[in-house]
Chains A and B, each alone.
Chain A
Amino acid sequence: MNRGGSSPSAAANYLLCTNCRKVLRKDKRIRVSQPLTRGPSAFIPEKEVVQANTVDERTNFLVEEYSTSGRLDNITQVMSLHTQYLESFLRSQFYMLRMDGPLPLPYRHYIAIMAAARHQCSYLINMHVDEFLKTGGIAEWLNGLEYVPQRLKNLNEINKLLAHRPWLITKEHIQKLVKTGENNWSLPELVHAVVLLAHYHALASFVFGSGINPERDPEISNGFRLISVNNFCVCDLANDNNIENASLTGSNFGIVDSLSELEALMERMKRLQEEREDEEASQEEMTTRFEKEKKESLFVVSGDTFHSFPHSDFEDDMIVTSDVSRYIEDPGFGYEDFARRGEEHLPTFRAQDYTWENHGFSLVNRLYSDIGHLLDEKFRMVYNLTYNTMATHEDVDTTTLRRALFNYVHCMFGIRYDDYDYGEVNQLLERSLKVYIKTVTCYPERTTKRMYDSYWRQFKHSEKVHVNLLLMEARMQAELLYALRAITRHLT
């Protein structure tokens, strides 16, 4: 437990990747200097974000209106690269945290903490520890799950499932929460909690995916803050800054390669858009394509040896775990590939049978009024957001690309669209991007700057943030769909 008191060494502020760890073990004397990562994100050069901010009055207005802290935090700064979206985001977050709702304010923050803890996201945890105390939460709860009321504790199971394997949520889980006498949750409360959980799981993906830095001026330590740990290995940060500069200045040789990559990608998109599929792919073919993507996503991360954390290794060296784990139980429970267990019982969620627009919205809005509209607007916004640009090109219809990203995330959660040809995913998303997507949505805490940099090298940072937004919202929607479907089944 590293809270308060002892000031940790610079090196302890960063997780070490396996590689570096090996090096360190060999040579104990090695000193790792703290890399210079100022600005809101460790991945994005400060000037990129700041430039965008200074001009944008809209952002300031939004922050004034909806930010809970009254200042521009790092998440907001990075998101403000997409002001249109930022508005929807802040509005819905403000609504679920501050406005009229079934749950008391401290509960909401505690639930946010529980959700963020599933991904060891110390950034969000710290933020909400402060808010929790400010809204009158009982400080004792911050000692861990054993100190909270049984009612909140009961939420742990659904938090776990929702974060890592939402397809396992059944109506029995809902029933257990709703009908346990003394500590039961009313349905509106449960829906509120589920929305918060999904929001913060997804937001953790964004935080790690965009390399959000800890806030620079942590308020007076209240003894419950976690040591801010960046989950990025120092070696990443050191190396990649160079790559960064290289690709931006365009003087590096790698650029030729990536430019042709970009052109090829655009070519493929164009083809997909225009081409009427002449040969009719059989159902089997389509199913195979879906299953293939589903299965392939399995190997995507494990194939990346350099940054993979084999289970045991991952756990014993986690610096944060001890601190964070007080908010969760069963920390070993993680995303398990969907296709891994018995082939015959693959639970595929048919998107057309339970869609957000038709079903999810109505249920959520009925039980927790108005949140449906806000989420609806946010999903719609992120799905349709486009500037019709790709890297240096303008007037590009990016619909297919955005749809591929969105559907690929859903695919990893087992949600299948009948009207989507998963072959497209293969054509549009390069391997390094798939690795990134898989990591950000399933194990965000393992995201590294190297992963962030390795895909779409010639794209702008704002475009990569756009990708992160898509991933985040797709993930949130997937979680919500599973949870709401279970609630609907409980109701019928």
Chain B
Amino acid sequence: MEKMSRVTTALGGSALTGRTMHCHLDAPANAISVCRDAAQVVVAGRSIFKIYAIEEEQFVEKLNLRVGRKPSLNLSCADVVWHQMDENLLATAATNGVVVTWNLGRPSRNKQDQLFTEHKRTVNKVCFHPTEAHVLLSGSQDGFMKCFDLRRKDSVSTFSGQSESVRDVQFSIRDYFTFASTFENGNVQLWDIRRPDRCERMFTAHNGPVFCCDWHPEDRGWLATGGRDKMVKVWDMTTPRAKEMHCVQTIASVARVKWRPECRHHLATCSMMVDHNIYVWDVRRPFVPAAMFEEHRDVTTGIAWRHPHDPCFLLSGSKDSTLCQHLFRDASQPVERANPEGLCYGLFGDVAFAAKDSLVAAESGRKPYAGDRRHPIFFKRKLDPAEPFSGLASSALSVFETEPGGGSMSWFVDTAERYALAGRPLAELCDHNAKVARELGRNQVAQTWTMLRIIYCSPGLVSSASLNHSVGKGSSCGLPLINSFNLKDMTPGLGSETRLDRSKGDTRSDTVLLDSSATLITNEDNEETEGSDVPADYLLGDVEGEEDELYPLDPEHVHPEEPEYVLPQEAFPLRHEILDTPSGPEHLQDKADSPHVSGSEADAASLAPVDSFSLLSISHALYDSRLPSDFFSVLVCDMLRFYAEQGDVQMAVSVLIVLGERVRKDIDEQTQEHWYTSYIDLLQRFCLWNVSNEVVKLSTSRAVSCLNQASTTLHVNCSHCKRPMSSRGWVCDRWGSGG
């Protein structure tokens, strides 16, 4: 509001009005410039040179300056500028090296005024003196800048940059005699118009060509430069050495830069290639553009603020042959879309979390992290009261440390390394992975693998799956070994060892465990029934007839039948492999009377309670085992999502890879990609390069498999001379050939 009123005064009581609009040009534009009355704009390009009136609702073509029998190269404009003192005076820079001035006051149709053919190469920029009516400056590809007095036929003085081509020249707005020029080689020079012999000052501003520069309209000595190195820099030229005050990193080379009127720290940029948007940056906030205009479909080639005292109207021309007026209120503001929270894991499992002050304050009332917040540390950024975003930018950073050893992720590393993801039949993969999980004491996961195997391997295999478990029981069954893995890892000795490991490794909150230990154990018993005992029965009995009874054993669904099966189970020693811990409240009630309680098992039961859900979904699946495995895919997908949501993206991805086509189609691409990238990221954090590469390779997601197409080189150095090797082997050619 305050700004608006200022604008009104600046404009002498008549504020600009208009809306976001565009009009089609006949040809791509190379540059635009605004008349000082803020009501006309000139557009110039290789084959266009027109003046448009800016009306309330639309652009209206007012004058076509490309007249004459034949188009001349003099009309092929690289740049155009409208004099800010004289409404009738324009100048263009032609690609053939000619500087042309135009006088709109001429009565004839041809408004061409003067022609300066002094440059030998393309003229990249022309610039009128801000206050002098007759002074024009040009900068050319030939490395020279020339100053013209429009009352004379030739240039008044020539400035040699002693370097490659000049990309931009700009008169200082505040210092009458000064102008800045930017060069192809990254230099910026400061000249005094009275001293053509040598520049006052020179410094390297960018790496590669500096395409543009702009003097700050109010702050004396502030110069913004933009370069091919994708940076916008703001220099303070008042100090003896040019000082870089701000630096904005954009995403593409910067073609034009223009300070925003009435907003001290704002500037607008557009880029030379690839990126078509116009950005308005607050230079103090170099990472997120303050505003963004996305109207153009090809690169924007010219931008101009409509009025030197109005910050709301921006005009632009583009290669897509359109002229646009952008209103600031219609700009999209990336800040709004930015996620104001940040979260990051440290190397040892510490978590840092930053969020808006208000957000944190509100949440801390509810204590969402009460259980985990062991040593919260708060930092608060000291705010510059002058900063305009103090409301936005103020945030709190909390760091949550893990207790030493508490965040051990060795299970993750082991799992990642030992899982088999491809190259064998599905059944074997599942068995192998189940075994791995079991050995690491992750019984829930092991169970899941086993179930996947049951679901997805042909009906005939159901029996073999169960068989495995019975075999696992020990040789007492006397059945032939089907899976040697199972046999090995299910010997009682090993089992208890695993359990031991787990109790050492698992440092989850003990309170939970204690509270529900009894229940948990009961649940285990049930699990056991399902996983190992009954299958044994089933094997010994009639296969077809018993099939149904195998599945109802799921604790949740078949409680009434439970006693029947629980009884035989007691004949067997308890096994650790079925230690999953459904801990939903219903279980607490149902199985409190289970007979077996053992300390070690209680310990083992302390898996994350969340796991129970997946178990539930699988039990659904088991229930309907006669259905084609397709039927389960929905449930399996739910299970995967569940794992992923619980943070075990490893499981989600591994299952996804192992099952491949069977489930892939049921999970949308984006989710898959998300999982893959998270998992890969995690793997790389643990330096598991091989595994991560394997995962990349096995992934079917296009974006993911691209990851290892970016670079395929493995550098090997010669063991003698330490130079990069060109061929295979251990020493390079010059040693190998005896030379």
Contacts and interface: CB of A to CB of B under 8 A. Distances in A.
Interface of A: 64, 68-71, 98-105, 131, 134-136, 186, 188-189, 276-277, 280, 282-284, 286, 350, 352-353, 357-359, 361-363, 366, 373, 376, 417-419, 488, 491-492
A188 B709 contact: yes
Given A98-B724, A102-B710, A418 B95 contact: yes
Interface in B607-665: none
Contacts of A283: 70-74
Contact of A362 (B119, B253, B727): B253
B67 interface: no
A353 B121 contact: no
Contacts of A103: 712
Given A69-B726, A350-B46, A352-B95, A359 B273 contact: yes
Contact of B709 (A189, A350, A358, A418): A189
B120 A134 contact: no
Nearest to B118: A276
A64 B726 CA distance: 12
B122 A376 contact: no
B274 A188 contact: no
A98 B715 CA distance: 9
Given A283-B70, A352-B78, A362 B709 contact: no
B471 to A, nearest CB: 43
A419 B252 contact: no
Give 3 nearest A-B pairs by CB, closest first: A418-B95, A134-B727, A362-B273
B713 interface: yes
A136 B713 contact: no
B298 A492 contact: yes
A482 B709 CA distance: 25
Nearest to A488: B273
A103 B713 CA distance: 8
Nearest to A353: B46
Contacts of B201: none
A359 B275 CA distance: 12
Given A104-B712, A352-B122, A134 B728 contact: yes
A440 to B, nearest CB: 26
B272 interface: yes
6 contacts: A101-B712, A352-B78, A359-B272, A359-B273, A362-B274, A418-B95
Interface string B95-135: 11100000000000000000101111110000000000000
B117 A70 contact: no
Given A284-B70, A419-B122, A136 B117 contact: no
B73 A286 contact: yes
A352 B123 CA distance: 11
B121 A419 contact: yes
Given A286-B96, A362-B274, A363-B274, A492 B297 contact: yes
B209 interface: yes
Contacts of B711: 100-102
A100 B713 contact: yes
B454 interface: no
Given A283-B72, A352-B78, A362-B253, A186 B274 contact: no
A189 B299 CA distance: 24
Contacts of B97: 418-419
B70 A366 contact: no
A68 B723 CA distance: 11
B709 A186 contact: yes
Interface in B275-297: 276, 297
Nearest to A350: B46
A417 B120 CA distance: 12
Contacts of B273: 358-359, 362-363, 366, 488
A69 B119 CA distance: 47
A119 to B, nearest CB: 25
A373 B734 CA distance: 30
Contacts of A188: 709-710
Interface in B543-564: none
B208 interface: yes
Given A131-B726, A283-B72, A353-B46, A362 B228 contact: yes
Contacts of A280: 115, 117
B733 interface: yes
Nearest to B75: A283
B297 A102 contact: no
A41 to B, nearest CB: 24
Contacts of A186: 706, 709
B46 A68 contact: no
Given A283-B71, A362-B252, A71 B710 contact: no
Contacts of B706: 186
Interface in B719-739: 723-724, 726-728, 732-734
A189 B728 CA distance: 24
B184 interface: yes
Contacts of A419: 95-97, 119-122, 141
B737 to A, nearest CB: 9
B356 to A, nearest CB: 34
A282 B728 contact: no
Given A280-B117, A283-B72, A362-B228, A68 B726 contact: yes
B228 A70 contact: no
Q: Looking at A64, A284, A362, which has the most chain B CB atoms within 10 Å of its CB?
A: A362
Nearest to A362: B273
A265 B456 CA distance: 84
B728 A102 contact: no
A262 to B, nearest CB: 24
Nearest to A380: B164
B76 interface: yes
Interface in B179-215: 184, 208-209, 211
Contacts of A136: 728
Contact of A418 (B96, B252, B713): B96
Contacts of A282: 70, 72
B196 to A, nearest CB: 18
Contacts of A135: 726-728
A352 B78 CA distance: 9
A187 to B, nearest CB: 10
Contacts of B73: 283, 286, 418
A491 B274 contact: yes
Given A99-B713, A286-B96, A352-B78, A134 B118 contact: no
B71 to A, nearest CB: 6
B228 A361 contact: yes
Q: Looking at B121, B297, B732, which has the most chain A CB atoms within 10 Å of its CB?
A: B121
A131 B733 CA distance: 12
Nearest to A360: B273
B115 A69 contact: no
A278 to B, nearest CB: 9
Contacts of A277: 117
Contacts of B732: 70
A189 B285 CA distance: 35
A353 B298 CA distance: 13
A419 B726 CA distance: 45
Contacts of B272: 358-359, 362
B110 to A, nearest CB: 15
Given A276-B118, A283-B71, A352-B122, A70 B712 contact: no
